[in-house]
Chain A
Amino acid sequence: MKPSLYFRPTNLQEALTALSANSWSVLAGGTDFYPARLGKPLEENVLDVSAIDGQEKISFNDGRWRLSLQATWSDLIADNRLPARFDGLKRAAREVGGVQIQNRATICGNLCNASPAADGIPNLLALDAQVELMSLQGRRTLPIADFVKGNRRTFRREDELVTALLVPDSGRPARSVFLKLGARKYLVISIVMVGAVLELAEDSRIVSARIAVGACSPVAQRLPLLEEGLIGRRLETALADMVHERHLAPLAPIDDVRGTADYRRDAVITLLQRSLTELAR
């Protein structure tokens, strides 16, 4: 067995240099890292990014919110500066494991783990978040949908580090929601979840709509047809009635221990209807 490395850099440059020189597993909050390795010896190089400093965990600049790689779910929940468009993501944050997990797990880590049932991803899609990747080659950004490749796979290159999530904020009034269906109250993996963000004009007409569904496909999916149908409508109309089976085309639910594909198809319609009802409330 070859000896493996552990490196906990304190600045970004060290981290990127290490990534360019070697193959590493990136460790942030550890809450997905350890469960995935239960009962197996550690035989990999581990880059622990938890000590990289120099950046505010959550900041706002030039019309964009920046959630840095150190930001945990608890940081997000506690941040009172975040506008209403983040309400859905905050609700998702409260559903990520128990408070113990929320205190350690990072938002970026949840995305990089790329579980089909990751509670954070539907609302990140609905927030139109961009992923910031850094390497010695430079910086690039990708939309969430172009970052997550599949079940537990992303398009991050081996020499890259996800350094932040960037959330555009038009400053327009917005509403957001997150609904999760699980078989118990706490510590539960989603059967189906819906995240949505609507941006509104002064007259409460919907000017942009982003609605994403999780746990019904290898990667959480937005529902463009439904979104298009919402644009231009007023919030007070019976939005829930607009949800139609044909909107679910991007989804590919499966049977697993948490529920059948048929059940998921049925339940997601209900969750979408309830999400829209709640947004209009």
Chain B
Amino acid sequence: MTQQSIRFTVNDTPAEVSVDPLRRLADVLREDLGLTGTKIGCNAGDCGACTVLVDGRQSCACLVPIGQAAGHAIVTVEGLVAKGQLSQLQQAFQDHGAAQCGICTPGMLMAASDLLAQTPSPSEQDVLDALGGVLCRCTGYRKIVDAVLSLGKTTAAPVSRNAVVGARLPKVDGLAKMTGAERYGADSWPADSLVLRAIRSPHHHARFGFGDFAALFAAHPGLVKILTAADIPGQNVFGIYPTGKDQPVFAEGYARFRGEAICALVGDAATIAAIRDDEVPVEWETLSPLQGVEAALSPHAAQLHETAKGNVLIEGRLARGDVDAAITKADIRLSDNFQTSFVEHAYIEPEAGYARRVGDRLEIFATTQTPYMDRDEVALIMGLRQEQIRIIPSAVGGGFGGKLDLSLQPMIGVAAWLLNRPVRCTYSRPESMASTTKRHPASIAITVAATKEGRLSAVRFHGDYNTGAYASWGPTVANRVPVHAMGPYHVPAVYCTTRAIYTNDTPAGAFRGFGVPQAAIALETMLDDLAEKLDLCPFEFRYLNALDKGSVTASGQRLDASVGLRACLDALRPQWERLRLEAADFNETSRHLRRGVGVGCGWYGIGNTSLPNPSIMRIGLKRDGCITLYSGALDIGQGSNTIMMQICADALGVPLSIIDLVTGDTDLTPDAGKTSASRQTFVSGAALRLAADDLRGQILRLANVGEPGRFALDGRTLRVSDGVTDQVIDLARLPAAGENGDVLVGEGRFDPPTTPLDADGQGIPYATYSFSAQLALVEVDIELGTTKVLRIAAAADVGKAINPTQVEGQLHGGVAQGLGLALMEEYIPGRTENLHDYLIPTIGDVPPIDTYIIEDEEPLGPFGAKGIGEPALVPTAPAILNAIRHATGARVTRVPATPDRLRAALRATGRYEAAK
């Protein structure tokens, strides 16, 4: 395409570019004009992340040819800041906690700007309609709606500028997310970077061989290198568990899933974009694929991995009491089977980053949830020492577990190393969806038994989890689920088994809950069955059986503190009673719409299951009296940067203004483990408290002051007092103790106390558990099978809310993902590799959410805090499904309960006829 000179204005400034007129406006803004505040989530108009204003009207910049921008006025997020000040809208987003990861924030801000210019005082419906074209995966949208509605109103957000624990401190890293300055994986690259694009298997299961690449190189002079497995300097394998690594960076003649990388093209951007996949010479021999666990478990199934007999990767087990006897003896016993689907993380930021060689070291800047594991794995693949690898995490545009596995890091790492040139890569949306991990589909068989008084007697559970082509986090799921499958209830006899099964489907890995949400769907549905048969209130039935202080769990662990499930239910009870009555009233007069209210409960062990899970945190004091927090606890939008700053300030007793945050760079911060398993607040927060104690102790010793000593920093002057004598120390006179110029360095390490589990799953798998309970009010259209969730009430025992706004944000986001799990999300390999066939909730699908924060303090946690990321999600789908049943009598045993499935379930009840 010939280049044309195109003139337009961007943020009131004239711009002129000489480019191919068909290039997308989004690409020109980002690549040519450096305005990376405009994000690209799908390049298909499905997500709205790239929303900009064209002549004042919101438009997807990914769908506008730059040729059509000629003569028009473009406004991007960078144009919202005036005279260095956030606009009112930006400030409202910041104050309301409307951004979590922040990747959708520019799009939301631009859509809202268009609305507010036309309708300065919009109604809630106006806001929903105007922002309906922008997807968010973190926030559950409600705080975004609140932020937009707050403009023009006098009531301000309940913001605290105070850093103390418990305060509603706005995100400490929020400003960059508001202005577009935040650097995500695709937003930063060295100027001379080459571009890498992977070529992937179009087949679910196939053997392949390469032809001669010479013709391809000849046709495309800008093609520098085609990387294959043969180019991997170290081992061509990676995986979460040290002994179970099974996934190649590039498949070696044998592809186990559609989307698996077989080679990668490296060259200049234009060349790489111009090469069609089918120009790469590959001979394919397709094999019959094993899709779903049933196919993989059949006696004649192909063996996908030598080490896994019968395609069983791993089995998990927990046994307590005599479950057969307990089921026989019980007054009532019920069994059923449940199916869940692949669920896609659908973070709005696709995988992206760059790598470069710096002497004998390799630097990788990329989106990730786990810089330290990335470092260790990349070192093995590169054949380098761990110290030779530096991982610099970009801002992360959503993770939810999906960025715990390596994606593009080894490919760009190998390319940059071999070519000695920086190499960048950004996954397309279909590529991200086809190649990265999913939530495991589960096939569950469950039996529950109870006494006629409503005491649970036994739970027998078996879950087959489809782990796809590679292990990833399959073992974690297989081990975590048996501990949680009987729910947060006292059950005397339990037998839970799980298997992770290899198939030719997309690898399943970590996704908010590690298999527990699937198990909760089965259990909580059965609990409503029991309650119905026993003629008990489903809410009080759960309350009666709820774990409490002093309870012994099915793994034999006595819970002595921080068991707030009953407190959650107590908080929800008034609403339960009111909503049930209101639903009944509504149904009296309604014809095709029926309302119902359901409840679900969940629990979640914080951190790894019976495995070491340490975090190390460090705090430095500099000569100028400033504190540096070296936090390897990676903020992926959930807010750990803010949480750690609040803990740091409060634990040291210093103002936030003197603390600098250094985070997540493997060269600069100690290993705080991965951002997963809802562990950062609890584990890294506890480590941080210890680091603060250490630093404080050193300060007191420096002044020779004993406890209870106090100190204050005033610039370089350190005052230390024991209440009797005051010491004044000039920090500038102290020698530097650390490589960063710190004169004192405090360090803390915390590893949650757990024990290994025996063959029956008995032991202490987790140091603490978070508890949650939710109510859902739904309205079902019985003629169409559609479900509208009208309200969610969410209670969670988080021990202590370090920042209530962020706890609410996690609850809202968990609810939105749980709603998607229940009603619409189903990834089908090869068929739903985009965000219009794969549906996640939009702003119009998430109802108002009432939150109840329960604080039953955990003695081991920092200021009593536990975790909230995953417990937020576990009860949502069960509550919605139980509400559907309450509304209609239809039991749902397969999720998502899409309209066609629910309509079929309604027909199956015999109460509803076919349309005629």
Contacts and interface: CB of A to CB of B under 8 A. Distances in A.
Contacts of A186: 128, 132-133, 842-845
A267 B915 CA distance: 7
Interface stretch (B62-70, B314-322, B403-411): B62-70
A213 to B, nearest CB: 14
A263 B836 contact: no
A6 B903 contact: no
A181 B114 CA distance: 28
Given A184-B845, A187-B842, A100 B783 contact: no
B58 interface: yes
A30 B68 contact: yes
For A30, A35, A262, the residue with the greatest tally of chain B CB atoms inside 10 Å of its CB is A30
A99 B129 contact: yes
A241 to B, nearest CB: 10
A40 to B, nearest CB: 7
B134 A6 contact: no
Contacts of A81: none
Contacts of B429: 38
Contacts of A34: 24, 43-45, 62-63
Contacts of A260: 900
A99 B58 contact: yes
Contact of A184 (B4, B832, B844, B914): B844
A159 interface: no
A259 to B, nearest CB: 4
For B111, B114, B130, B839, the residue with the greatest tally of chain A CB atoms inside 10 Å of its CB is B839
A42 B128 CA distance: 35
Interface in B268-327: 273-277
Nearest to A266: B915
B837 A30 contact: no
A39 interface: yes
Interface in B831-875: 831-832, 836-837, 839, 841-845
B58 A185 contact: no
B88 interface: no
Interface in B40-60: 43-46, 48, 51, 54, 57-60
B271 to A, nearest CB: 10
Given A27-B65, A103-B58, A185-B845, A38 B430 contact: yes
A113 interface: no
B784 interface: yes
B836 A30 contact: no
B422 interface: no
A54 interface: no
Contacts of B130: 99
B899 interface: yes
Given A31-B60, A50-B68, A259-B898, A270 B915 contact: yes
Contacts of B384: none
Contacts of B114: 99
Contact of B428 (A39, A185, A259): A39
A52 B390 CA distance: 54
Interface in A19-48: 27, 29-31, 33-35, 38-42, 46, 48
Given A30-B65, A34-B24, A270-B915, A100 B899 contact: no
Given A41-B274, A97-B133, A103 B59 contact: yes
B92 to A, nearest CB: 20
Interface in B53-100: 54, 57-60, 62-65, 67-68
Given A184-B845, A270-B783, A273-B915, A98 B133 contact: yes
Nearest to B843: A186
B59 A3 contact: no
A245 B67 contact: no
B792 to A, nearest CB: 16
B542 to A, nearest CB: 30
Contact of A6 (B20, B51, B219, B841): B20
A181 B784 contact: yes
B899 A191 contact: yes
B45 A189 contact: no
Contact of B1 (A6, A191, A257, A259): A6
A101 interface: yes
A184 B132 CA distance: 11
Contact of A4 (B1, B68, B784, B837): B1
B531 interface: no
A156 interface: no
Contacts of B132: 98-99, 185-187
Contacts of A258: 898
A184 B429 CA distance: 20
Contact of A38 (B2, B44, B276): B44
Given A1-B274, A34-B44, A42 B60 contact: no
B166 interface: no
A14 to B, nearest CB: 15
Contacts of A181: 784, 786, 899
Contacts of A39: 277, 428, 430-431
A84 interface: no
A101 B20 contact: no
Contacts of B219: 1
Interface string B770-797: 0000000000000111100000000000
Interface string A1-16: 1011110100000000
Nearest to B47: A187
Interface string B1-40: 1101000000000000000111010000000000000000
Given A181-B784, A263-B903, A269-B915, A97 B45 contact: yes
Contact of A104 (B44, B64, B839, B844): B64
B700 to A, nearest CB: 58
B828 interface: yes
A189 B132 CA distance: 14
B824 interface: yes
Interface in A231-281: 244-245, 257-260, 262-263, 266-267, 269-271, 273
Contacts of A94: 129
Interface string A152-191: 0000000000000000000000000000010111111101
A68 interface: no
Nearest to B272: A41
Contacts of B45: 31, 34-35, 97-98, 100-101
A183 B111 contact: no
Nearest to B900: A263
B63 A104 contact: yes
B237 interface: no
B836 A187 contact: yes
A238 to B, nearest CB: 14
Nearest to A4: B1
Contact of B914 (A40, A188, A266): A266
B842 A48 contact: no
A74 interface: yes
Interface in A78-107: 94, 97-101, 103-104
Nearest to A272: B915
Interface string B523-535: 0000000000000
Contacts of B911: none
B2 A263 contact: no
Contact of B784 (A41, A104, A189, A267): A267
B903 A267 contact: yes
Given A48-B65, A259-B900, 15 more contacts: A3-B1, A6-B22, A34-B44, A35-B44, A41-B275, A42-B1, A98-B133, A185-B128, A186-B133, A244-B916, A257-B826, A257-B837, A267-B785, A267-B915, A271-B784
8 contacts: A1-B274, A5-B2, A6-B2, A38-B44, A39-B277, A98-B48, A99-B58, A187-B46
